Amino acid sequence: MKKNDQIITTILDLTYEGNGIAKVDGYPLFVENALPGEEVKIQILKVGKDYGFAKTIEIITPSQDRQEVSDSRYIQTGIAPLLFLKYEKQLEFKKQQIINLLAKQHMDDINVKDTVGMDNPFAYRNKAQIPVRNINGELTTGFYRRHSHELVPMEDFLIQEDGIDELIIQVRDILRRYEVSAYNENNNSGQIRNIMIRKGHYTNQFMVVLVTTREKISPLNAIADEIQDLPNVVSVVQNINPNKTNVLLGKKNKTLRGFPYIEDEILGNKYRISPNSFYQVNSLQTQKLYQIAIDKAELTGKETVVDAYSGIGTIGLSMAKRAKHVDGIEIVEAAVKDANRNATVNHIGNATFQVGKVETVLKQWASDGKKVDVLMVDPPRKGLDKSLMDTIKQIQPKKMVYISCNPATLVRDLASLVTDYEIGSITPVDMFPMTNHIESVTRLTLKHN
């Protein structure tokens, strides 16, 4: 078997990334755009020692679970890699991924509930980060082809909230009129790297962030004036990123017009969102995610809650109404300032947020004899740090609620905590429809209080 060979085969299963699995003479192939049970004609893309990669070039016998894809670019770019799978089957697929991981750890007895989906699984993202490049001599917006830096021109991104796609086109056309140069990553030249749009779902406020290679762009004032005049734009910000890097945003923001933030709401609380703020991108599902987390915590109003990785305070402040006190811990100083300000804005007096590493602060609290009734964790994809796990076992909070964005690290962490904690049900929440990403909420209860 070699690159570009064409083979007819049957798909056996799906990987966690949503690729089909085929075996040819016992050799595994991971196949794009293929579903279990389908007979497909594939073309080999890459051959490795233990497995290879292929793409589907013809579906001979389609699965009943397949749905029609109107534009292949959504799959090619990775914007909606599961678009060809019916939505109810996507929800089943995500639940099954968690079940499979638990089985590998011999934790089959843990109940995984049905995935909480959306009524309309499109147009859900409140944030867009769109690269700007030169194609055929013209400043162009679009998205990268998967596993490459080749820009695919696009105007309809399918999964972004109403108004965002239209605003990207309007900003692009303004930049074209003023003959602003697009970024060239090969030699780190050009003026505009990215256009970022943030939208307040419940306020309909828009922020436009122009990510530039340098501070002085001519004629930036005229460009900012025109963008500010677009409907519902309340914030125009320049972010300066001069480095040759894949990191999207630089360290410096400059408010060009309007406010340095937009506002939005979660479960009745108002939040200010700045260009660098972590804020869940699916506003409708965030309400469900946080409500599930609150319900799993079973708060009575007497508990001290610690909100680890607290960000701008969205989870902690959502829980504060039902708790005695909420303490938030966050390593990003700007986020802590936002969180404390959000507490003030929402007249919440029983929540405070401080800067620090979660494991360091909790260890100090343990030394001081501070009790934690409920520990809320919402870690990055790498899961809980080993030193934090050790601290958890030391302070022994009566309950934990674990919001996870990575089932693999969730199950790893649960396997470590199961000696001390009773693992309750896991509730998957589909925060990213049409993709393979899986969010979930798990409750843990201390076995010996």
Catalytic choice (249, 405, 408, 418): 405
Is residue 405 flagged as an active site residue?
Answer: yes
Give the C-alpha separation, 256 to 234, whole Å. 11
Q: Which two tokens stand for residue 187?
A: 């030699």
Beta-strand pair 233-240/252-258: antiparallel
Round to whole Å and give the CA distance between 77 and 100: 28
Which residue numbers are catalytic? 405
